[in-house]
Every structure is written in structure tokens, then in C-alpha cells.
Structure 1
Amino acid sequence: MTQSIVVQVGQCGNQIGCRFWDLALREHAAVNKNGVYDEPVSSFFRNVDSRYDDPADIPLGTGKGKIRSLKARAVLVDMEEGVVSEMMKGPLKEVFDFKQLLTDVSGSGNNWAVGHKMYGSQYQETLSDTIRRAAEFCDCLQCFFLIHSMGGGTGSGVGTYILNLLEEEYPDVYRFVTAVYPSAEDDVITSPYNSVLAMRELTEHADCVLPIENQALVDIVEKISRAVPSLRTGKRVYSAAGQVKSGSEISSGQGGVTKTKDEKPFDSMNNLVANLLVNLTSSARFEGSLNVDLNEITMNLVPFPRLHYLVSSQTPLYASSDVCLPPTRLDQMFSDAFSKDHQLIKADPKHSLYLACALMVRGNAEISDIRRNIDRLKPHLKFIHWNLEGWKTGLCSVPPVGQPYSLLTLANNTCVRHTFTELRDRFVRLYKRKAHVHHYTHIDGMELLDFTESLESLTAIVAEYTGLESQMHNPPPPEPRLNIVM
């Protein structure tokens, strides 16, 4: 069994990460009725109870005494200590190892240069040691999952600095990045600078990036609130959370473990992203008849190394920890996953060109169900001429808690260029006036060249996707066949 490490950076990254661990614990509890430390649990959690020689004998909680035997394979980083401190006082506090936390008090001031150039250099050795400690607890480390936002200073700056460290020190371990992009109405005036400066690092040093747009999350939450009246009135729709055993830190059912306080405004949005990660990692945590290994995602969906930005969608949609839209028919679920209302960026992939697409199904479904829906959808989707059968399918037998099945799609689709073009335009509008540039250039190591090179990198990505999309309407002529004269 392989293991993965989740690196949570900044306020956004840590809040999403906290939700991910809550959901992961809940799923393992629903499957692991006896509360035994087994291989699926070990993929993202490690045992810290030395009283048992055989991992199969380790209980997750026994009798009246509490045995806190699980620690998340997580590294928590933030240059403001507020969010991490709150997590270490919350219901999941025992799941996090305080030796794998790194915080400061002053923050990065919404400035990529402060996060990347100043804090990155200042904490380089500590970051390396903290990540190394987490890696040494893994028998077979396969992947790093980096979660951060693009608009703030710590998420974009320190987050991409850590990404560079991971490539340098663990070049053979896959680097998956979940990056939350700011909306056009973002209240951080420098967010276009931070996002574009960070994007150059993501393009150069990540294996796979899942861009998430804040505005898309807002729209989905509003969609769910219209469908579920209780969300509009603020009524709590939580079911009771049963426990595996008394004292266990894994709880089952739909209640989860984070219900001691009212939800915060961004919790619904964070839950959407956390569910994306839970579904993405399901094949690494549970068995299935056609599981997708994480390295297969990069292998099948990234035909060009720099074009590794994957558009994601999922169904059913979750708003809070416990509320999702009512279950739909399986075939309708496939249709929904390709509609613009379910995309986690503001784009419609049906009107653009697919380079490749992955369908990751969980639960009570068969391979024939997947094949039937691919055949049904194919005539309405445009694939590039050299990869007309560019489908990767996966089937994990364990469904999400409380649902019969779910579907996550990951698509390398040229529609992502619209998000990047809008971001570039916002950057240019600021940079033409050199607005706020002095806040960046006064940081040691930061130069105007960083702005221009980052803009050039983003422009090149947009141009590559645009060039590929042009083949949707004007495919190149077929290669001439070689005639062999006998």
C-alpha cells in the first residue's frame, strides 16, 4: 500500500484540509466497522500507538479509555497562526501532529514576494525538516497533495516555494496541486499579481494542477441552497454521528466530527473542494474493481508536460458536511458531470476541446454503466483528433458516506484558457500602471523581471491551449501514407 502526504498552506489550504480529514475519517469509519488499523487507513494516516506490535491488533478506540492512535499524514503551514491554532483546539486536534506544524504571527500581507522570497528563504530548513519527518513515516511515498489559494500571500508564495522544495528533494514523488483561484470581485487588490506569479511556479514544478475558482464555488453553493430549503433558512440538517467504538477518533455516519460550532461562511465552499479530494483519493484508500492509481492520472491526462491543468466536476454536489442534492439516476449523474453548472471553474467544457478525460466512479455501479454512458456522451463532446478515445475510467467499490454512488470527472480541456485569460487581463490592468509593484520589489530577491517572466509564462500557456482549440474547427490534414513499392 502506498502513502500520500497532504501539505496545507495558508488559511484557505488549512481550512480545506481540515474538512478533508473530517470526511476521510468518516469514510474509513463507515467501512472499517471494527476500528482496526489496516492498509486503507494507513494510506493517509499513521499509527502512533507503540503498545501493539502487529498493526492489525491496534484498536482505534477501546472501552472507556481513549487511545489516540492515528495521526494524519499532513504538514500544516501558515504565516498567521490563527487558523492552525483553531484547528489544534477543535474536534480534530488529536489527528494532527504538532511536530508537523509551522506557523508565524505576522502573515504575508497578501504579497507573493513576502511569502515566496522572504518567508520561503527564512523557513527553508524548517520546511525541509518538517516534510522529511512526515516522509520518513511512509513505507512507500507516492504523492504529495498541496492545497493552497492563489490570491493571498502565504498560499501563493509559501505554497509555491514548498512546491519547489518537493521537486528538488523528492523528484520521483508525484506533486498534485489543488489551487483556489480568486474571483474577479476579490477584495484583495493584489490577487492578480499573486496568482500570476504563482502560476509560473505551478507550470514549471507541478505534475498536475486542479484549478478551482471561488466564483464557481459560490454559484454551486447558491444552486444547492435553492434546491435544499433548509440551507436558505440556516436550519442545521445534521444526522447523529455514531462512533466505531467509545473513545475512537473515527466517527461514522453523516454527522462527522466537526459539529461543535456553527459553520463559518466559507465552510460550504471548502466542503466542495474537500469532497473533490476525498473522491480523487478514494482509489488510493479503498479497493475497487477498476481502481485508478494516482500516477495514471498524469500518465493519461497530461499529453504535454506544461499543460497539466485539469478541469474538475463532481456529482452529487455537497454544500455542508452533511447536505447534498438528492440522489439522482446514474445516467443523469454522468450528464450532470459534463454540464457547466457542476464545473469547479467558470467554464463550459462542451464548447471547447478535450485532450483527455477521466471518469472516477464510486459505489454501486458497473463497468458496463460507465461504458454505456461514454457511448451516449461521446457524440456531444469534442476530442482532439489524435486522442478520440482519450477516456480513463475508474471504479471504486466504496461510495461516499450516505450516497449510493458518486462521480468525479477530471478533464484536460482547452476551456481552462478562459479562466487564465481573464486572470491575465486583470494582471495587465494593474501592471500597466505599476500599481502596488513597489510593495513587491522592496523585498530582497524580488525584481520586475519576475513580473514580466510570469506574465510571459501565462501568455504562453493560453497560446498553447488556444492553438489546440483551433484544431477543433480546423483539424490538420491526415498524414500521407507511406507507399511501399514491391
Structure 2
Amino acid sequence: MREILHIQGGQCGNQIGAKFWEVVCAEHGIDSTGRYGGDSELQLERVNVYYNEASCGRFVPRAVLMDLEPGTMDSLRSGPYGQIFRPDNFVFGQSGAGNNWAKGHYTEGAELIDSVLDVVRKEAENCDCLQGFQVCHSLGGGTGSGMGTLLISKIREEYPDRMMLTFSVFPSPKVSDTVVEPYNATLSVHQLVENADECMVLDNEALYDICFRTLKLTTPSCKYVYASVSSAIFVDKCFCSREHWPNLKVDIPESRLKL
């Protein structure tokens, strides 16, 4: 099986990742404890792409969760699917990046990067035939942009023949008042051009526009925005309805060729 290792970093990346795993679990018929409870065996057809089946029969996501502050990790662990992840795969610091790209890339992030890489290696070793990595992060904050791009460059050095796909949320001045977000995004784009094979651009302003115009929400909260992103990732990964599971293909190189 051609496995995909999912990495989510920063507050935005982790919250989008949490919604993404809720969608994937629902499609595969996996409950919040990692047990299969679906209604069709076809749901388990390609479950090993995103999950590692433990000896006890539980399905554990092939996921690495990182942040430079513990708050997001705590909220994920206490969430509806927090217990499905492997506890050792939560890697976090205590200081935060303070929306500073340099802190995430050169100082605080650089101090934590080896711990994240250790988890990435362990997950990669558990794969029979790893096809690549997918990284979920934002380019406006300090962790997702600075440390996220640092991790991408390190993975590229260590796994040069594996595909690298990113889902990058670009900032917008209309939905944020943080003045350094454009600088963080500009510094990150160069890194993505150098080290990513595919970069799916997710425009923050367009996401809110979907909530306003399509979902008809007057004051959209973050959960609706993150749900929209997770749905976009899900569709991009070539998932389809249960009736078509035999034709399911989750292949990063193929999606790159199609683009």
C-alpha cells in the first residue's frame, strides 16, 4: 500500500487537521476510539493509506502534530477525536512563535525540529511503501510558516525521492489585523517553491467568502472555515462516495501529473 504521512503544524494547521481526520474517519467508518464501526467492507479497502492498524485492532492515523505552544495540543487531545492519535506524535514547545517567521524557522522552531523529525522517521519506518508527505499549515503565523517550512526542507533533505504536498492557507488583510502576516507568507513562499512538489493554495479571504455567500452565514466562526478547508483537502485527495470505493485512488504523483 502506498502510504501518506500527514503533518499538521501551528494553530491553524492543527485545527484544520482535526477537521480533516473527522472527515476521513467518517468515510472509513472509524469511530473516535479508532475502532471500525462502518456498514460496508469497502470502507476498509484502502484504509492503510492514512491509518496504521495496531495489533489490538485499532486504526491509528499516520499523523504528526506539532506546535510551539501547548494550548492547541491540549484542545486537540480533549476534542472528539483526540484519543485516536498516538500520544508520542504530539510534539510541542512552551514559548510559541509570536507570529514571527524567524522564531519558527531559526530559533524556537529549530530547537524543536529534531524531536519532530524523530517522530516523522518512526512513522515513515512503519510504512511499507511511503509515497509522500502532506503538510497542513498556514503562512500567516509564526509556527506554520517558519517552522513548517523548516520541517519541509528537512524532510526534503532526508527523503528526496518522496513527494511533498502542502495545503497552505494564505493570509488576507480583510480577515486579520496582524501586520506581519504578509511578511511571513512572503518568506515562506520561497521555501515552498524550493522544496514542495505540490502546493495547494487556500485563500483565507475566499474561505470566508464561501461561508458568507454559499453557506449563508452572517458571522462565520473558525470551525466553519476549517471544515471548508478539510473538505477541500478531502476532495483533492481523490476520495469519493462509498458507492465508488473500489475506484478510490489516493496517489500524490498522479495528482501532480494531472495538475
Q: TM-score, normalised by structure 1?
A: 0.48
CA distance in structure 2 between the aligned counterparts of 1:203 and 1:34, rounded to whole angstroms: 41
Deviation string 1:202-256 (CA, Å, 9 cap, x unpaired) is: 0100000011111100111001243xxxx55x9xxxxxxxxxxxxxxxxxxxxxx
The correspondence of residues 41-440 of structure 1 with structure 2, limited to 5 A, is 41-50=47-56, 58=57, 69-185=58-174, 186-226=176-216, 265-283=221-239, 286-288=245-247, 291=249, 293-301=251-259
User: Once the 2 structures are TM-superposed, how far is the Cα of residue 299 of structure 1 from its aligned partner?
Assistant: 2.6
User: Once the 2 structures are TM-superposed, how far is the Cα of residue 272 of structure 1 from its aligned partner?
Assistant: 1.0
Change (3 A) 1:151 1:293: same
Structure 1 counterpart of 2:201, one-letter code:
P
**SS at structure 2 position matched to 1:11:** helix
Q: Paired residue for 1:8?
A: 8
**SS at structure 2 position matched to 1:138:** coil
**SS at structure 2 position matched to 1:193:** helix
CA distance in structure 2 between the aligned counterparts of 1:35 and 1:152, rounded to whole angstroms: 41
CA distance in structure 2 between the aligned counterparts of 1:39 and 1:84, rounded to whole angstroms: 31
User: Of the two, which has the highest radius of gyration?
Assistant: 1
Larger fraction in helix: 2
CA distance in structure 2 between the aligned counterparts of 1:5 and 1:174, rounded to whole angstroms: 10
Structure 2 counterpart of 1:125, one-letter code:
D
CA distance in structure 2 between the aligned counterparts of 1:274 and 1:292, rounded to whole angstroms: 15
Structure 2 counterpart of 1:194, one-letter code:
N
Contact 1:37-1:47 within 8 A present in 2 as well: no
CA distance in structure 2 between the aligned counterparts of 1:119 and 1:287, rounded to whole angstroms: 45
CA distance in structure 2 between the aligned counterparts of 1:170 and 1:115, rounded to whole angstroms: 22
CA distance in structure 2 between the aligned counterparts of 1:86 and 1:123, rounded to whole angstroms: 20
User: Once the 2 structures are TM-superposed, how far is the Cα of residue 42 of structure 1 from its aligned partner?
Assistant: 1.2
**SS at structure 2 position matched to 1:105:** coil
Contact 1:8-1:77 within 8 A present in 2 as well: yes
CA distance in structure 1 between the aligned counterparts of 2:23 and 2:239, rounded to whole angstroms: 15
CA distance in structure 2 between the aligned counterparts of 1:146 and 1:163, rounded to whole angstroms: 8
Contact 2:104-2:110 within 8 A present in 1 as well: no
Contact 1:13-1:147 within 8 A present in 2 as well: yes
Q: Following superposition, which runs of at least 4 residues in structure 1 exceed 6 angstroms of deviation?
A: none
Q: Which runs of 5+ in 1 are unaligned?
A: 51-57, 59-68, 235-263, 302-486
Tell me if 1:22 matches 2:22. Answer: yes
Deviation string 1:319-339 (CA, Å, 9 cap, x unpaired) is: xxxxxxxxxxxxxxxxxxxxx
CA distance in structure 2 between the aligned counterparts of 1:175 and 1:115, rounded to whole angstroms: 20
Q: Which runs of 5+ in 2 are unaligned?
A: 31-36
**SS at structure 2 position matched to 1:287:** helix
User: Once the 2 structures are TM-superposed, how far is the Cα of residue 35 of structure 1 from its aligned partner?
Assistant: 6.9
Q: How many residues are matched? A: 249
Change (3 A) 1:140 1:104: same
CA distance in structure 2 between the aligned counterparts of 1:37 and 1:143, rounded to whole angstroms: 22
CA distance in structure 2 between the aligned counterparts of 1:103 and 1:299, rounded to whole angstroms: 35
The structure, 1 or 2, with the larger RCO (C-alpha pairs under 8 Å, 6+ apart) is: 2
User: What percentage of residue pairs aligned between the two structures are identical?
Assistant: 35
Change (3 A) 1:94 1:282: farther
CA distance in structure 2 between the aligned counterparts of 1:183 and 1:157, rounded to whole angstroms: 18
Contact 2:237-2:251 within 8 A present in 1 as well: no
The correspondence of residues 467-478 of structure 1 with structure 2, limited to 5 A, is none
CA distance in structure 2 between the aligned counterparts of 1:139 and 1:283, rounded to whole angstroms: 21
CA distance in structure 2 between the aligned counterparts of 1:43 and 1:297, rounded to whole angstroms: 15
Q: Paired residue for 1:447?
A: none
User: Once the 2 structures are TM-superposed, how far is the Cα of residue 120 of structure 1 from its aligned partner?
Assistant: 3.2
The correspondence of residues 437-452 of structure 1 with structure 2, limited to 5 A, is none
Contact 1:20-1:275 within 8 A present in 2 as well: yes
Change (3 A) 1:131 1:225: same
Q: Paired residue for 2:46?
A: 40
User: Once the 2 structures are TM-superposed, how far is the Cα of residue 292 of structure 1 from its aligned partner?
Assistant: 6.8
Deviation string 1:113-165 (CA, Å, 9 cap, x unpaired) is: 00001123212321211111111121111121101000100010010001001
Structure 1 counterpart of 2:93, one-letter code:
D
Change (3 A) 1:269 1:37: closer
Structure 2 counterpart of 1:27, one-letter code:
E
Q: Paired residue for 1:369?
A: none
Change (3 A) 1:271 1:126: same
Contact 2:109-2:143 within 8 A present in 1 as well: no
